[in-house]
Amino acid sequence: MIELKGPAEILKMRAAGRIIGALLEEFSAKVKPGVSTGELDLFARRFIEAKGALPTFLGYQGYPATICASVNEEVVHGIPGPRKLAEGDIIGIDVGATLDGWVADAARTYAVGKIGPEARQLIDATREALDKGLDQARDGNHLQDIGFAVQSYVEPKGFSVVRDFVGHGIGRKMHESPQIPNYGKKGLGLKIKKGMAFAIEPMINRGAYQVKVLGDGWTVVTRDGSLSAHFEDTIIVSDGAPEIMTRLS
């Protein structure tokens, strides 16, 4: 069952989304050489709690932190800690907030100082892939139109789409149905309807799509050690293009 969100629910998701949108903008200045991922995590926790919200990830299936901090070949679910960021790294920061029982979930990949052209191209392509994917979240489209848009944009550039992790419905819980792969065929999958809320989150590798989970039980890395980027937004299907809850502008 996919819950359709009406005006009252949309107001609540918007409020949760604004917290995450603002926090992700704050990180643009905070992410720099020498800062530790643990410091970024603490900042996020304080920011979310100061807004009267709860850090959605903390304690979720035993996850120990507020953010996921995934550096370079780490794809998603990197656990923050003492690791200090170095010039040239890229870092995906994924974070969720629950406000008044409603969840927003989003991620960006940031450059740490000056980065190389390979990293820059990957970040730009992944951000653009998210935009192409979420633009397909329109009433009357099919679910796989989203993944098709992502896949057909990044693969011609020589990048690959992670298969083992996908986007998801969202609302009262972080993970609701349906699952939203970042690959697919145009015109397949369920019919998208106005009021559906999705977290769309392409994870794109410079090398092959295969990933593995490290011994900590969380950190997902590329099998070939290639760089990976991740962008995510929480959106609501509306009239025309979707409303993006987790962006301020």
57 contacts ligand MF3 (rule: CB under 6 A): yes
Number of residues that bind ligand MF3 (CB under 6 A): 12
According to DSSP, the β-strands at 243-244 and 167-169 are unpaired
Question: Under the criterion CB under 6 A, does residue 68 sit at the interface with ligand MF3?
Answer: yes
Question: 168-181 burial string, b = 16+ CB within 10 Å, else e?
Answer: bbbbeebebebebb
Residue 126 to residue 182: CA distance in whole angstroms: 11
- DSSP single-letter state for residue 105: E
Beta partners for 102? 99
Q: Residue 12's binding partner, choosing from ligand MF3, Co ion, none, with beta-carbon cut-off 5 to 8 A by kind?
A: none
Q: If DSSP codes are grouped into helix, strand and coil, which group holds residue 233?
A: strand
Q: Which of Co ion, ligand MF3, none sits in contact with 60, Cβ below 5 to 8 A by type?
A: ligand MF3
Dist. CA 118–CA 87, nearest whole Å: 15
Q: Which stretch binds Co ion (CB under 5 A): 25-33, 59-67, 178-186, 195-203?
A: 195-203
74, 89, 94, 233: residue in contact with ligand MF3 (rule CB under 6 A): 94
Please pick, from the candidates 42, 63, 127, 132, the single residue that binds ligand MF3 as defined by CB under 6 A. 63
**Selected binder of ligand MF3 within 6, 52, 60, 248 (CB under 6 A):** 60
Nearer to ligand MF3, 61 or 249 (CB): 61
Q: Is 105 near Co ion (CB under 5 A)?
A: yes
Q: What are phi and psi of 47, to 5 degrees?
A: -60, -50
Q: Considering the complex, what minimum distance in angstroms separates the CB of residue 15 from Co ion?
A: 18
Among 65, 97, 137, 199, binds Co ion (CB under 5 A): 199
List binders of ligand MF3 among 219-248 (CB under 6 A).
Answer: 232
d(CA 111, CA 88): 7
* CA–CA separation, 48 and 66 (whole Å): 9
Q: Is 87 helix (H, G, I), strand (E, B) or coil?
A: coil
Helix, strand, coil share of the chain (percent; to 5): 30, 25, 45
Nearer to ligand MF3, 18 or 168 (CB): 168
Binds 68, which of ligand MF3, Co ion, none (CB < 5 to 8 A, cut-off by type)? ligand MF3
From ligand MF3, Co ion, none, interface partner of 89 (C-beta below 5 to 8 A by class): none
Say whether 71 sits in a helix, a strand or coil. strand
By the criterion CB under 5 A, which residues form the site for Co ion? 105, 199
